[in-house]
């Protein structure tokens, strides 16, 4: 067959898995904050889960690509001009998917560069968070060292409280795991999106497969 609907269906399934994974990862620090403080963003683990990189970037911005990829699936895909259009639309929506994935990657890189809120600010409070796109352009290669993760001195200058120490360590691990996971999700989404752009255009241009044409 010269039609590419099978590959498109695989891309659609892969993007759906990544969508769910991105939303779940983004929700972890929000749920932890709710369980600890009984209120969202009262004392967040970091400022960056509030940018919703997994929910918006890795989730909502690729809903169209998922829908068009699954619509292009079917036994008569190569025989239907409508499904040709779905293949073409899947390529266009994949551009939005890539933009969302890049947004997810940029926020994740900035989060990994700065570390959790307890490592960089004198108060673990949402009042210290600045939600400005200017913050996402301040990544410098020399600052991306992850010392906040490997350095045991990531503690606030307060009373030596073991409970606080355990909480800080927990926040550090959660922050690192969540945003490293979101970074990987963003990278995979870019690869899936680029793949779907190529396959979508090929599927749109190739038309009826040789096997179906013979039938």
Cα(18)–Cα(34) distance, rounded to whole angstroms?
24
Specify the length of the chain in residues. 215
Cβ neighbours, 10 Å, residue 206: 16
Residue 210 pLDDT exceeds 60: no
- Residue range 178-190: mean pLDDT, rounded: 96
Cα(60)–Cα(18) distance, rounded to whole angstroms?
12
Cβ neighbours, 10 Å, residue 104: 33
Q: pLDDT (tens digit, 9 = 90+) per residue, 47-86?
A: 899 899 999 988 887 666 655 555 555 544 444 566 677 7
Return the closest-CA partner of residue 48 out of 183, 144, 149, 151: 183
Return the closest-CA partner of residue 97 out of 1, 201, 192: 192
Please give the pLDDT value at position 125.
Answer: 73
Backbone dihedral angles phi then psi of residue 153, each to the nearest 5 degrees: -90, 15
Q: pLDDT (tens digit, 9 = 90+) per residue, 88-129?
A: 777 888 888 899 999 999 999 999 988 888 887 666 777 778
Please give the pLDDT value at position 63.
Answer: 62
Residue 192 pLDDT exceeds 50: yes
Please give the pLDDT value at position 215.
Answer: 42
Q: Is the pTM of this model over 0.85?
A: no
**The token pair that represents 75 in the structure block:** 């036994």
Query: Are the C-beta atoms of residues 196 and 11 closer than 8 Å to each other?
Result: yes
**The token pair that represents 161 in the structure block:** 């409280």
């Amino acid at each position: 067959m010269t039609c590419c609907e099978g590959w498109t269906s695989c891309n659609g399934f892969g993007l759906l898995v990544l969508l769910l994974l991105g939303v779940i990862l983004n929700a972890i620090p929000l749920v932890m904050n709710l369980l600890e403080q009984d209120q969202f963003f009262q004392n967040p683990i970091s400022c960056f889960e509030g940018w919703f990189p997994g929910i918006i970037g890795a989730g909502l911005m690729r809903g169209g690509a998922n829908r068009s990829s699954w619509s292009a699936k079917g036994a008569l895909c190569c025989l239907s001009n409508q499904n040709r259009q779905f293949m073409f639309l899947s390529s266009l929506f994949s551009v939005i998917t890539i933009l969302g994935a890049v947004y997810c990657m940029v926020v994740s890189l900035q989060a990994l560069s700065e570390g959790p809120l307890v490592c960089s600010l004198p108060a673990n409070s949402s009042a210290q968070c600045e939600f400005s796109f200017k913050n996402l352009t301040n990544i410098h290669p020399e600052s991306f060292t992850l010392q906040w993760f490997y350095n045991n001195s990531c503690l606030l200058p307060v009373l030596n409280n073991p409970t606080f120490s355990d909480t800080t360590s927990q926040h550090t691990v959660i922050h690192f795991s969540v945003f490293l996971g979101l970074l990987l999700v963003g990278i995979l989404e870019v690869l899936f999106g680029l793949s779907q752009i190529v396959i979508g255009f090929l599927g749109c241009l190739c038309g009826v497969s040789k096997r179906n044409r013979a039938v």
